[in-house]
Structure 1
Amino acid sequence: MERRPTIIDVAKAAGVSKSTVSLVLQNSPLVKRETREDVRRVMREIGYVYNRAAANLRSSNVGLIGLVINDLRNPFFTEFATSVQMALSARGYATVVANTDEDAEVQGQVVGAMIEHGVSGLILSSAYGAVERGFEQIARSGIPTLQVLRHAHPDTELFPFAAPDGPQGGRLATLHLLQQGAKRIAFAGGLMGRSVTEARLAGYRAVLAERGLPERVLTGRPNRAFGREAALWLAKDYPDVDAVLCFNDLTALGIMSGCAEIGRRVGPDLKVAGFDDIEESALVFPSLTSVRSNIAGFGQAMAANLLAWLEEGVKPAAEILSPVELITRASTQ
């Protein structure tokens, strides 16, 4: 006996996602008229019959998006998650948010739970480490998934990747420090071997290499505690360093705190620049120069990209680097 066509068969034949077909069956206004007509035409052509009784058991999950974040304690990721959630809500979608606390095992658990609860799509800012389990579960499910901010899985055709342009940010900040008179610039924070660290380092290294200047890289967990230690370390072991580009603003704020502790003036004695331009960067004294990635706008764009994939079958480019700009303040003057 020939197998009855399924919703997956409709999605493949129409060139859209399973979630888009589900929305068409729900008569959702979120799907464009042309797409609805194409999907319904395919249903007729392949003989798909809608089982409304079975669908009613699943209807509460239609329009549910999973948002997995590596560290919601960091205000940068909190702002990103908030912007995504608000953008999805404006389009009629509910968001399930999970914090993995940089734990790959927890990530695998929450991804599995979201799949079981029928999310239509996923936006994943991955932890590092053994994250294969979570991505394998997603691949088997066929759920449209964007990996953002952290490039954790190499297959960007399957899992498109998007992030602010780290190399350009590193370049802009390093050039600015040189223009402000810095002679010896260090890079502080971030763990080696991680994509975001390498991206931000790339611009810094390129500028120094062009000018034949030496680099000084101090690696560590990108937080205030490491930044404070780095300030003391620089003053003691590398007194010739007169500027530092930090992996993120939290590291930079820690360096500024350490400088206050030892009586080193931020700006005149040590120029400090950060990454992310979190709200505190403009409020701290002296105010912090930082690479702004417009994380709220980035979050809104990621929500729009995922919904275009779900509703219209328009898959995002394999890799997207969004623009960044340098916001100059007193810490580098």
Structure 2
Amino acid sequence: MRRPTIIDVATKAGVSKSTVSLVLQGSEQVKPATRQLVHTAMKEIGYVYNRSAANLRSSGTALIGLVINDLNNPFFTEFATSLQMALGSRGYAVVVANTNEDTEIQDQVIGAMLEHGVSALILSPAYGDVTNSIAAIERSGVPTIQVMRQISSDYAKFPFLAPDYLTGGRLATRVLLQAGARRIAFVGGLEGRPVTHERVSGYLEVMAEQDLPPLVLTGRSSRSFGQTTAASLFTDHPEYDAAVCFNDLVAFGMINACHKAQKTIGEEFQIIGCDDIKEAAECWPALSTICCGVDDFGRQVAETVLDWLENSVEPSEVKRTQVRLIERQTTKPIGSF
């Protein structure tokens, strides 16, 4: 059941959200009759004021913990930068930790952040045994949001925000088909991971619609995997003329393999990445990719956390943000074939 929010109190009392905030802060600017109206509304709908978070915020000492699975990946670095800037503009300090895909390190940094009194956690988790991390967060009662990846399906306790990867997979595959590709592989992403399943599912759905055979080549989402897999693909499946990549790093590796094999990228072989990190527009040839709007995503996560802390507005259990395709030089312009 959704917890009542400050907006619900304002609606029930027939006053503005700012008036409710003033009452909660004990301001003398509010008339006694109005104050009583707000308190009555709070009691009737069961609203509980998160005073500890408010005190942290007003004292200027509020810390937000950000735990990232892989800061070597530019996508996560760009996300962390956007998030930190957005939270910093509102007076919050951000403590950032990189787990390097290691759940033991994840346990350690989450424990340390909780001990140091973070008022919220934002977690892009490493996969594996997360029992200790989950238990520590639950004991602390600290508001925690999962982003990009999830380690718990209890979204009522741990809301989840991520780009709409399923739609991204569909978009990439459809554009390649419209550009004349007929043998399309999906490359990258560790098998069995939810985030891989989401991205692959969109690809598989469109391939099935067109009655075309899929080829899924899973593995580490790195340049080296993209390059070695592309080289094998060119040898073992020379009929394949395009790839949907798990992320931009895999796509960069495939671009390198195309250069080495002297394949004309965008003509003989088409490539679409995912994430639209800054390098995607600067590599050669420039990479067509699914844009996840990482800067805006970081700001949305910041606003969600702050609304939860400052106004007791609990996030939606699951929220997907919009993605879009950016066509550059690694795909044929539609209608040019």
| TM bucket, shorter chain | 0.7 to 0.9
Is the 1:61–1:119 contact (alpha carbons within 8 Å) kept by the matching residues of 2? Answer: no
Aligned-partner Cα distance in 2 for 1:60–1:314: 21
From the superposition, tell whether residues 151 and 88 of structure 1 become closer, same or farther in structure 2 (CA, over 3 Å). Answer: same
Is the 1:62–1:119 contact (alpha carbons within 8 Å) kept by the matching residues of 2? Answer: no
Is the 1:62–1:120 contact (alpha carbons within 8 Å) kept by the matching residues of 2? Answer: no
Does residue 154 of structure 2 align to residue 155 of structure 1? yes
Question: Quick one: percent identity of the two aligned structures?
Answer: 51
Q: How far has the Cα of 1:35 moved from its partner?
A: 2.8
Residue by residue, what CA displacement relative to the aligned partner does 1:22-62 show, whole Å, maximum 9, x if unpaired?
Answer: xxxxxxxxx955234146577xx9xxxxxxxxx99x99784
Aligned-partner Cα distance in 1 for 2:4–2:230: 58
**Match in the other structure for 2:197:** 198
Q: How far has the Cα of 1:71 moved from its partner?
A: 0.6
Q: How far has the Cα of 1:230 moved from its partner?
A: 1.0
Is the 2:245–2:274 contact (alpha carbons within 8 Å) kept by the matching residues of 1? Answer: yes
Aligned-partner Cα distance in 2 for 1:193–1:177: 25
Does residue 275 of structure 2 align to residue 276 of structure 1? yes
**Match in the other structure for 2:250:** 251
Partner of 1:122, secondary structure, is: strand
**Match in the other structure for 1:312:** 311
Partner of 1:97, secondary structure, is: strand
**Match in the other structure for 2:180:** 181
Aligned-partner Cα distance in 2 for 1:189–1:60: 46
Is the 1:14–1:38 contact (alpha carbons within 8 Å) kept by the matching residues of 2? Answer: no
**Match in the other structure for 1:260:** 259
Aligned-partner Cα distance in 1 for 2:269–2:19: 59
Paired residue type of 2:248: D
**Match in the other structure for 2:50:** none
Is the 2:148–2:161 contact (alpha carbons within 8 Å) kept by the matching residues of 1? Answer: yes
What stretches of structure 1 move > 6 A for 4+ residues in a row?
13-16, 58-61
Is the 2:60–2:92 contact (alpha carbons within 8 Å) kept by the matching residues of 1? Answer: no
**Match in the other structure for 2:20:** 34
From the superposition, tell whether residues 262 and 137 of structure 1 become closer, same or farther in structure 2 (CA, over 3 Å). Answer: same
**Match in the other structure for 1:75:** 74
**Match in the other structure for 1:49:** none
Aligned-partner Cα distance in 2 for 1:62–1:107: 24
Aligned-partner Cα distance in 2 for 1:177–1:14: 47
**Match in the other structure for 2:144:** 145
TM-score by length of 1: 0.84
Does residue 225 of structure 2 align to residue 226 of structure 1? yes
Is the 2:5–2:313 contact (alpha carbons within 8 Å) kept by the matching residues of 1? Answer: no
Aligned-partner Cα distance in 1 for 2:169–2:176: 11
Q: How far has the Cα of 1:282 moved from its partner?
A: 0.8
Residue by residue, what CA displacement relative to the aligned partner does 1:76-108 show, whole Å, maximum 9, x if unpaired?
Answer: 000000000000000000110000011111011
Partner of 1:147, secondary structure, is: strand
Residue by residue, what CA displacement relative to the aligned partner does 1:199-241 show, whole Å, maximum 9, x if unpaired?
Answer: 1111101101111111000011000000110110110101111
Aligned-partner Cα distance in 2 for 1:256–1:79: 22
Q: CA RMSD of the aligned region, Å?
A: 2.1
Does residue 324 of structure 2 align to residue 325 of structure 1? yes
Paired residue type of 2:160: F
Paired residue type of 2:92: Y
